């Protein structure tokens, strides 16, 4: 290219010009310190999430049978085997009277039955001994079960009559357990409004990708922007996810959840577009996904829950945009982004039907030929999900 | 504490790659006076200080990617040019071109010997004093060697607009150089 002589002479004079610069080292030093702290925090966050995930997996995999200091409910099939009671729970302390005697001793108390943990459905034949005294020795019979008495509603003047264990209907405890379980079930389906923040350890330093694995030209077919090629990665902003999930109880402690998530990813990198380099082009990705999660609640109190969860998700990139200079270009993205997540969570119920939860976890994004983003550059990420949870 | 002159460039780069704050400070001291005029050329003195700081942070961030191909100073200069252009884009200065039309078209050729009577510092100030649009086109075309098509693409203007603005920048500079030269006679 022919350059003007004036241009050349100006260039010669300006090239290599030096001039004392204002002292900005203090500002640079502070900026470096801020960046160092960010890196330390990210590493800590990744380590914490990794530990949480490992703990969660360990709890899911190695958790043994639950006894929890309760009498193990005998699985009683009439005419088969004796009910089994945990030895530790055998009431062999002579100083303590059977519960029925204690109840009976209460004067004029309008309480019909004191609730104790009891084998789920032992049908106890009439004996002289209180049922609770020797639960192991009882041999259930089919006949006894079949003769389950129907208990009439106590009248007002009968309210003071105290039922002994033997007078209870055979399915009293079963009914109560079932009633409790049913009551509990109706309140354990949950709906969650969530937001995710993912910390990343990558902050650039990939200068040149000659033929990028995840270049947009490989994932999308739009002719209009097929010339776009990531040249150097500069910055990945923390992805944001919002979603709505519904969880259903499979058992008292095991939940399955699904819903819909929206994720927004922004990257900034230099691109080559029609052989011209644009520095700091923004790439925006919009994903909509469906997660499927399984969680095990190993701590459940009225106000607090602690659980471990594993989640798989499929996400579809519904929109991709490049913004550089005065250009805004869109591109279609094919395929799905699959991911797997494991972590632990803690939930706190402010009121019986509403609570807040926090799920630190580790998430891994599989290589599904998606556009360049933090997910392709750093597939393993620490993920922090917070949200509101409602019992329905 | 060693002086900056006792370190080789490779030692400084290596120290910076490992996050050695002392190496970073020495690198800054060695190159600040070289990169500052680059920022001034693109932004004027008012904004150059901010971009100088931001540019060095970028250098320390990306220094691990310098593979020793080409001069280190050239590599740094490219980062500072990019940082300056980013700043211009952020402040949207490039879109405000109303001042360009007031600049007269080229009026004659500067006689030989005139430019040589003007100091480099004065020339730098003249370039820094150009309207932002003219200044950007002049720097990218004359100093960085981009084509008009590339300048247009970088600045979001047409190729013809790039040619036109370069022509106006030349005229303005020649006119001001003549004034300084005449003032010195």
ipTM of the modeled complex: 0.84
CA distance A60 to A279: 47
C-alpha distances (whole Å) from A112 to each of A132, A137, A155, A165, A242 are 17, 26, 12, 11, 51
**A256 has pLDDT over 60:** yes
Q: DSSP letters along A17-46, please?
A: ---PPP--HHHHHHHHHHHHHHHHHHHHHH
Which two three-digit tokens encode residue A76? 């009683």
Q: How far is CA B154 from CA A15, A81, A155, B166, in A?
A: 22, 85, 91, 15
Any B CB within 8 A of A107 CB: no
Segment A171-221, tens digit of pLDDT: 544 444 444 444 444 446 778 777 766 655 444 333 333 333 333 333 333
- Which pLDDT score, from 0 to 100, does residue A354 have? 87
Q: Note the pLDDT of residue A223.
A: 34
Cβ contact A325–B52 (<8 Å): no
Enumerate residues 290 to 329 of chain A having a beta carbon within 8 A of any beta carbon in chain B.
Answer: 325-327
A97 interfacial to chain B (CB closer than 8 Å):
no
Q: Cβ neighbours of residue A37 under 8 Å, at least 6 residues apart?
A: none
Tell me what pLDDT residue B76 has: 93
pLDDT of residue B51: 92
> Residue A261 pLDDT more than 60?
yes
Lowest mean pLDDT among A22-36, B15-29, B89-103: B89-103
- State the smallest CA–CA distance between residue B34 and chain A in angstroms: 5
Q: Looking at per-residue confidence, does A194 or A26 come out higher?
A: A26
Asked if the Cβ–Cβ distance from B121 to A10 is below 8 Å, we say no
Which chain B residues are closer than 8 Å to A20 by Cβ? Answer: 33, 36
Of B8, B104, B141, the C-alpha closest to A11 is: B141
Q: Classify the C-alpha dihedral B67-A207-B85-B157 as positive or negative.
A: positive
Chain A within 8 Å of B124 (Cβ-Cβ)?
Answer: yes
Residue of B nearest to A1 (CA): B147
Contact between B120 and A7 using a beta-carbon 8 Å cutoff? no
Beta-carbon separation of B86 and A280 below 8 A = yes
What is the mean pLDDT of the segment spanning A335-355? Answer: 91
B172-182 pLDDT, tens digit each:
999 899 888 88
> What is the mean predicted confidence (pLDDT) over A226-244?
76
A161-165, B151-155, B160-164: lowest mean pLDDT where? Answer: A161-165
B62 to chain A, minimum CA–CA distance in Å?
A: 5
**CATH numeric code, A187-391:** 2.40.160.20
Is B177 buried (19+), middle (13-18) or exposed (0-12) by CB count in 10 A?
buried
Q: What is the mean pLDDT of chain A?
A: 68
Q: Closest approach of chain B CAs to the CA of A239, in angstroms?
A: 21
CA dist., res. B164 & res. A8, Å (int)? 18
Which of A13, A21, A36 is the closest to B115 by Cβ?
A: A13
Would an 8 Å CB–CB cutoff place B44 in contact with chain A? no
Provide mean pLDDT across the span B155-182. Answer: 89
CB A287 within 8 A of CB A368: no
Mean pLDDT value across residues B29-33: 94
By the 10 Å C-beta count (0-12 exposed, 13-18 middle, 19+ buried), B45 is classed as middle
Nearest CA in chain B to A205: B62
Model pLDDT for residues A33-75, shown as the tens digit of each residue = 888 888 888 777 777 777 777 776 676 666 554 443 333 333 3
Could you tell me the pLDDT band of residue A381, with boundaries at 50, 70 and 90? confident
A4 lies within 8 A of chain B by CB: yes
List pLDDT tens digits, range B88-106: 877 766 665 544 545 555 5
Taking each continuous run of H as one helix and of E as one strand, the counts in chain B are 8, 0
Chain A CB within 8 Å of residue B41 CB: yes
For residues A358 and A171, is the Cβ–Cβ distance under 8 A?
no
A14/B52 CB distance under 8 A: no
For chains A and B, what is the number of CB pairs under 8 angstroms? 116
High-pLDDT (> 90) share of chain A, %? 18
Interface membership of B10 toward A (CB under 8 Å):
no
| CB-CB under 8 Å, B82 with A279 | yes
CB A322 within 8 A of CB A282: yes
Q: pLDDT class for B107, splitting at 50, 70, 90?
A: low
Give the mean pLDDT of A75-94.
Answer: 42
Average pLDDT over residues A384-392: 86
- What crossing angle do the helices spanning B21-43 and A25-62 adopt, rounded to 10°? 120
Please give the CATH topology (third level) of the domain spanning B4-90.
Rna Polymerase Sigma Factor; Chain: A (1.10.1740)
> With contacts defined as CB-CB under 8 Å, which chain A residues touch B57?
28, 31-32, 35
Tell me the fold of B99-184.
Arc Repressor Mutant, subunit A (1.10.10)
A97 phi and psi, to 5 degrees?
Answer: -70, 155
**A121 or B122: whose pLDDT is higher?**
B122
In total, chain A counts a number of residues equal to 392
On chain B, the residues whose CB falls within 8 A of the CB of A231 are none
Distance from CA of A21 to the nearest CA of B (A): 5
DSSP letter for B141, please: I
Collect all residues of chain B within an 8 Å Cβ-Cβ radius of residue A18. Answer: 33-34, 37
State whether residue B2 sits within 8 Å of chain A by CB.
no
CB contact under 8 A, A18 and B60: no
Whether chain B has a CB inside 8 Å of the CB on A11: the answer is yes
pLDDT of residue A63: 57
**Nearest CA-CA distance, residue B175 and chain A, Å:** 13
Helix (H) or strand (E) holding A10: helix A5-14
Q: How far is A273 from chain B (nearest CA, A)?
A: 10
pLDDT at residue A104 is higher than 50: yes
Average pLDDT of A104-111?
47
Q: Is the pLDDT of residue A1 over 80?
A: no
Question: In chain B, what residues touch A208 (CB-CB under 8 Å)?
Answer: 65
A378 CA to chain B: closest CA distance, Å?
Answer: 18
> Is pLDDT of A86 > 50?
no
Residue of A nearest to B58 (CA): A234
Query: 10 Å Cβ neighbour count for A146?
Result: 10
Longest Cα–Cα distance of chain A, Å, equals: 121
Question: Domain map of chain B by residue range?
Answer: 4-90, 99-184
Burial A3-15 (b: 16+ CB within 10 A, else e): eeebbebbeebbe
Whether B158 contacts chain A with CB within 8 A: no
Q: How far apart are CA B62 and CA B57, in angstroms?
A: 9
Mean pLDDT of the region A82-99: 47
pLDDT at B27 over 90: yes
Nearest to B111 by CA among B65, B43, B178: B178
Distances (CA, A) of A311 to A179, A256, A302, A316, A345: 32, 10, 25, 17, 12
* pLDDT value for A199: 57
Task: Find the largest Cα–Cα distance for chain B.
Answer: 56
The pLDDT of residue B92: 64
pLDDT exceeds cutoff 50 at A121: no
Whether residue A284 has pLDDT greater than 90: yes
For residue B143, how many other CB atoms are within 10 A of its CB?
19
- Point out the residue among A21, A206, A207 whose CB comes nearest to the CB of B52: A21
* A166: confidence class by pLDDT, cuts 50, 70, 90: low
pLDDT at site A9: 86
Are B25 and A325 a contacting pair at CB < 8 A? no
Of the pLDDT bands very low, low, confident and very high (cuts 50, 70, 90), residue A300 is confident
What would the pLDDT profile of A357-376 be if each residue is shown by its tens digit? 999 999 999 988 888 888 88
């Amino acid at each position: 290219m022919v350059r003007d002589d004036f241009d050349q002479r100006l260039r010669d004079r300006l090239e290599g010009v030096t001039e004392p610069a204002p002292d900005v080292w203090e500002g640079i030093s502070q900026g470096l310190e801020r960046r160092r702290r960010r890196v330390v925090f990210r590493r800590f966050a990744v380590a914490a999430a990794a530990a949480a995930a490992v703990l969660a997996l360990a709890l899911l995999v190695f958790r043994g049978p639950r006894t929890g200091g309760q009498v193990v409910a005998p699985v009683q099939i009439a005419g088969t085997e004796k009910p089994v009671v945990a030895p530790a729970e055998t009431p062999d302390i002579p100083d303590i009277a059977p519960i029925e005697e204690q109840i009976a001793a209460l004067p004029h108390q309008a309480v019909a039955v004191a609730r104790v943990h009891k084998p789920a459905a032992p049908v106890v034949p009439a004996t002289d001994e209180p049922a609770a005294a020797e639960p192991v020795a009882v041999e259930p019979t089919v006949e006894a079960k079949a003769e389950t008495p129907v208990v009439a509603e106590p009248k007002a003047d009968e309210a003071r009559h105290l039922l002994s264990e033997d007078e209870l209907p055979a399915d009293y405890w079963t009914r109560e357990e079932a009633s409790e379980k049913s009551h509990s079930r109706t309140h354990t389906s949950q709906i969650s409004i969530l937001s995710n923040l993912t910390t990343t350890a990558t902050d650039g330093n990939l200068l040149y990708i000659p033929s990028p694995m995840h270049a947009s030209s490989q994932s999308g077919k739009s002719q209009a922007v097929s010339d776009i090629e990531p040249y150097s990665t500069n910055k990945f902003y923390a992805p944001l996810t919002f979603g709505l999930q519904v969880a259903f109880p499979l058992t008292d402690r095991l939940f399955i959840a699904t819903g819909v998530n929206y994720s927004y990813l922004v990257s900034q990198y230099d691109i080559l577009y029609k052989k011209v380099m644009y520095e700091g082009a923004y790439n925006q990705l919009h994903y909509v996904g469906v997660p499927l999660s399984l969680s095990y609640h190993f701590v459940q109190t009225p106000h607090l829950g602690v659980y471990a969860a594993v989640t798989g998700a499929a996400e579809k990139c519904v929109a991709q945009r490049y913004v550089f200079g005065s250009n805004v270009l869109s591109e279609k993205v094919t395929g799905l982004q699959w991911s797997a997540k494991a972590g632990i969570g803690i939930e706190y119920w402010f009121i019986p039907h509403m609570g807040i939860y926090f799920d630190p976890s580790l998430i891994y994004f599989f290589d599904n030929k998606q556009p360049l983003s933090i997910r392709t550059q750093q597939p393993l990420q620490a993920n922090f999900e917070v949200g509101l949870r409602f019992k329905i | 504490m060693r002086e900056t002159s006792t370190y080789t460039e490779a030692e400084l780069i290596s120290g910076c790659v490992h996050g050695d704050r002392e190496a970073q400070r020495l690198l800054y001291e060695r190159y600040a006076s070289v990169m500052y005029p680059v920022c001034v050329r693109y932004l004027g003195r008012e904004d150059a200080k901010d971009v100088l700081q931001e540019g060095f942070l970028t250098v320390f961030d990306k220094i691990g990617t310098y593979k020793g191909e080409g001069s280190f100073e050239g590599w740094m200069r490219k980062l500072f040019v990019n940082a300056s252009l980013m700043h211009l884009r952020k402040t949207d200065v490039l879109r405000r071109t109303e001042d360009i039309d007031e600049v007269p078209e080229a009026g004659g050729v500067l006689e030989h010997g005139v430019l040589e009577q003007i100091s480099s510092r004065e020339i730098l100030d003249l370039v820094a004093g150009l309207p932002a649009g003219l200044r950007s086109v002049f720097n990218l075309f004359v100093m960085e060697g981009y084509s008009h098509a590339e300048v247009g693409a970088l600045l979001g203007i047409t190729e013809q607009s790039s040619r036109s603005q370069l022509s106006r920048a030349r005229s303005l500079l020649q006119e001001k150089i003549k004034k300084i030269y005449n003032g010195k006679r």
